[in-house]
Copies of this chain bind each other. A is one copy, B any other.
């Protein structure tokens, strides 16, 4: 009797583990799709590819649905398995990460929307270099944040947070350039504004990637590092 009870609870815990594995996989699958969306959105804009842009906007609906499904999965696991300690931390962090992924999807859709407008209004005379550059960086941040999650790598997560600071600085400088350009050539204002909104969306993607990275640090170190300076964050990751 005792043995069969053990076997039963062993079975339960195996099932629970496979549910957690599945949750991770669903998150990474959604993450992979979102990362591709970032790249496609950038390409649709710099290549004036309105078909690709329409595609990005359609795929965004799929991402929204994925978020709702995974969110439900998280609630179900908490309700049925009553996880404790690190398992609970995993489920709660996963539920936060998918919300950031969904928003990265939203911002990609916004870039695609500007791409469609630029196809209609005529390309912008400037800003594509900056879009490509900052876009490449925030796409890499998204990918690296997800890899850090998959490997529970707090150091890699810290590097993502650090990169966000660099992106912010590049964004500020690109923005000043765009304003100068509008002042020099007021006829271009409308089209440059489309680039400005795209740059803004990319900068937000960097913020969300940083949020994901902070979630990974919480997962690994058990410490909420939101709103800390990079130096403080580094101490939390490397200390103890």
Which residues of A does B touch, CB under 8 Å? 61, 64-65, 67-68, 71-72, 75, 78-79, 82, 84-85, 88-89, 92, 95-96, 99, 179, 182-183, 186-187, 189-190, 193, 200, 224, 226-227
Contacts and interface: CB of A to CB of B under 8 A. Distances in A.
Contacts of A84: 79
Nearest to A72: B224
A220 to B, nearest CB: 16
A85 B183 CA distance: 58
A125 to B, nearest CB: 15
Contact of A182 (B64, B65, B92, B189): B189
Given A75-B92, A79-B88, A183-B186, 10 more contacts: A61-B227, A72-B224, A75-B89, A78-B88, A79-B85, A182-B189, A183-B187, A183-B190, A186-B186, A189-B189
A214 to B, nearest CB: 11
A189 B179 contact: yes
Nearest to A82: B82
Number of copies: 2
A176 to B, nearest CB: 10
Contact of A78 (B61, B68, B72, B78): B78
Contacts of A89: 75
Contacts of A64: 226-227
A6 B99 CA distance: 41
8 contacts: A61-B227, A64-B226, A75-B88, A75-B89, A78-B92, A79-B88, A182-B189, A189-B189
5 A-B pairs with the lowest CB-CB distances in the bound complex, closest first: A82-B82, A186-B186, A64-B227, A183-B189, A68-B224
Nearest to A226: B68
Contacts of A200: 200
B82 A224 contact: no
Contacts of A96: 99
Nearest to A64: B227
A227 B200 CA distance: 23
A182 B192 CA distance: 12
Nearest to A186: B186
